[in-house]
Amino acid sequence: MAKPTPKLPVQQFVILAVCRFAEPVVFTSVFPYLPEMVRTFGVVERDVAKWVGILSAIFALCQCITAVPWGNLSDRIGRKPVILTCLSITMFFTLLFGVSTSLPMAVLARACLGFSSGNVGIIRTVVAELVPERELQPRAFSLMPLVWAIGSIFGPAFGGALVNPVKKYPEIFGNSHFFKTYPFALPNILSGGFFIIGIITGFLFLKETLSFKKNERDYGLILGEMLTSVCCRCRRKPVKNPEHGDDESTPLLGDRQIPVSAASKEQKQPNYSAKWTEVLTFQSMIILSIYASLGLHSVAFDSVLPVFLNHPRQKLENNPDVKLPFKFSSGFGI
């Protein structure tokens, strides 16, 4: 008998994409208005670029510090609880950043956003556990970067369009005291809506992939199945209870589910923990270095370009400050 062709679990990948979408939106939506936001904190003009860079870097620094601890926690309590926890905490500090009224408050909110952004590695681990077939992994691993790219398109677009809505859309928000007090809150509130959608979708439909946790009872999945059956008005085929006795029609090797208690006994939590010397091999260090170089170029450009466009244009004629190599006409100097 021919072996069935493996297929991608499309439904679970769609759910992962919904959970993942909010994070690139939040990360990139602040870039268009970050220089203007820093100015409202009373920062002098010559220090605006410095503090924009600090606010951008503090996020990545804190994310780097907590990425491994979040991954270790997911190895103990499961992927799904950690993903939902990170989304919830990130949503809270996203809203806090939108209502920041001082520079220390904004720096603290961005740092906490970095501390809570541990889903990058965990979601990639879930992808690998959902697709153990090596022939499907190239297609599977390309989906999450695609979600990041789409989120990076929407983030700056509505981040710049929705900031300071009282002045841009006076017919809608002209009488809003809240948005007059917090002109940068609206993009972050919209981002919080994406987080709520991701949290609800993940809680109801995302399946656990950690080996010794995936057979445990998941009340979120049970609730999601109930809601789905009610909405679709169709009843799924009931699963045979393993406690019931078998009859003459029951096959000897039937498709029976293992009880949770038995599964938990058979699949115990592994005690082995990989050492850093086993992880940081020569080959992995080369890959990490290349990936870090790409990130340095991409994020640096995304951070500097809004500062450049927000800075007043210098006069080129008879200006002694305009000289090579750092100041020149043509190109970005036009």
Domains of the chain listed by start with CATH number: 10-231 (1.20.1250.20)
Residue 291's pLDDT band (cuts 50, 70, 90): confident
Rounded to whole angstroms, how far apart are CA atoms 10 and 158?
29
pTM above 0.85, yes or no: no
Q: Give residue 234's pLDDT.
A: 54
Task: Answer yes or no: is pLDDT of 197 > 70.
Answer: yes
Q: What is the mean pLDDT of residues 274-290?
A: 82
**Least trusted range by pLDDT, from 75-84, 202-211, 232-241, 246-255:** 246-255
pLDDT in tens, 111-161: 999 999 999 899 999 999 999 888 888 888 899 999 999 999 999 998 999
Task: Answer yes or no: is pLDDT of 260 > 60.
Answer: no
Q: Give residue 45's pLDDT.
A: 87
Task: Answer yes or no: is pLDDT of 179 > 80.
Answer: yes
Exposed, middle or buried by CB within 10 Å (0-12, 13-18, 19+), for 71? Answer: middle
Structure tokens at 142: 């390309």
Helices marked H in the chain: 10-29, 34-40, 48-77, 79-98, 103-116, 119-130, 137-141, 143-162, 165-168, 170-173, 177-181, 185-205, 219-232, 260-266, 276-279, 282-310
Percentage above 90 pLDDT, the chain: 54
Q: Give residue 265's pLDDT.
A: 42
Q: Give residue 266's pLDDT.
A: 43
Position 177, amino acid:
H
Residue 319's pLDDT band (cuts 50, 70, 90): low
Task: Answer yes or no: is pLDDT of 306 > 70.
Answer: yes
Rounded to whole angstroms, how far apart are CA atoms 90 and 188?
11
Q: Give residue 264's pLDDT.
A: 46
Q: What is the mean pLDDT of residues 251-280?
A: 55
Task: Answer yes or no: is pLDDT of 24 > 70.
Answer: yes
Rounded to whole angstroms, how far apart are CA atoms 17 and 21?
6
